[in-house]
Structure 1
Amino acid sequence: MSQPLSTETIYNKQAASWSRSEKILLSDFTARPRVIEALGDISGANVLDLGCGEGYVSRMLLNRSAGSVFGVDASSEMITQAKKSAAKEKLPNSHYAVGNAVTYTDFPTTKFDHAIAVFLFNYLKIEEMTEVMAKVKNLLKAGGAFIFTVPHPCLPFMKEEAPPFYFEHDGKSYLDGIDQTFEGEIWRRDGVPVSVRCVHKTFSHYFDALKLAGFQSLPEVKELSVTKEHLKLDPDFFAPLEGYPLHVLFKVQTND
Structure 2
Amino acid sequence: MKQNIYDHPIFFKEYTSLRESGVTYNDFVEQPAIKSLLPTLDGKTVLDLGCGTGHFAKYCVNHGASKVWGIDISSKMIKRAKMENNHDHIDYICKPIEDLELANQKFDLVVSSLAVHYIEDYSAVVKKVSGLLVENGEFIFSTEHPIVTANKEAKKWVKDSQGNNLHWPLDNYQEEGKREQHWYIDGVVTYHRTISTLINTLLDNGLALEKLLEPQSTPEGLKVMPKIVNETRRPSFIVIKSIKKN
TM-score computed with the length of structure 2 as normaliser: 0.81
Q: Quote the Cα distance in structure 1 between the aligned partners of 2:66 and 2:30.
A: 23
- Residue identity (%): 25
Aligned residues of 1:86 and 1:92 also touching (Cα < 8 A):
no
Q: Secondary structure at the match of 1:15?
A: helix
Any gaps of 5 or more consecutive residues in structure 2? 160-168
Distance verdict in 2 for CA 1:38–1:109, change over 3 Å: farther
Do 2:23 and 2:224's aligned partners in 1 also have CA atoms closer than 8 Å? no
Cα separation, 2, equivalents of 1:247 and 1:83: 28
Give 1:8's aligned amino acid: N
Tell me the alpha carbon deviations over residues 113-139 of structure 1, each in whole angstroms, 9 at most, x when there is no partner: 1101111110012xx111111111111
- Give the C-alpha shift of residue 40 in structure 1: 2.5
Partners in 2 of 1:11 and 1:202 — Cα distance? Answer: 29
What is aligned with 2:92? Answer: 96
Q: How does 1:47-196 map to 2 (within 5 A)?
A: 47-87=46-86, 91-105=87-101, 107=102, 110-125=105-120, 128-156=121-149, 157=151, 159-160=156-157, 173-176=172-175, 178-183=176-181, 185=183
Other-structure match for 1:166: none
Identify the range of structure 1 (16-25 vs 238-247) with the bigger mean alpha-carbon deviation.
16-25
Unaligned runs of 5+ in 1: 163-168, 186-192
Structure 1, 25-34 or 243-252: larger mean CA deviation: 25-34
**Alignment match, 2:209:** 218
Structure 2 distance, partners of 1:54, 1:243, is: 31
CA distance in 2, matches of 1:160, 1:21: 26
User: Structure 1 residues 161 and 60, CA, compared in 2 at 3 Å: closer, same or farther?
Assistant: farther
Q: Output the aligned Cα RMSD.
A: 3.0
Q: 1:109: Cα distance to partner? A: 5.3
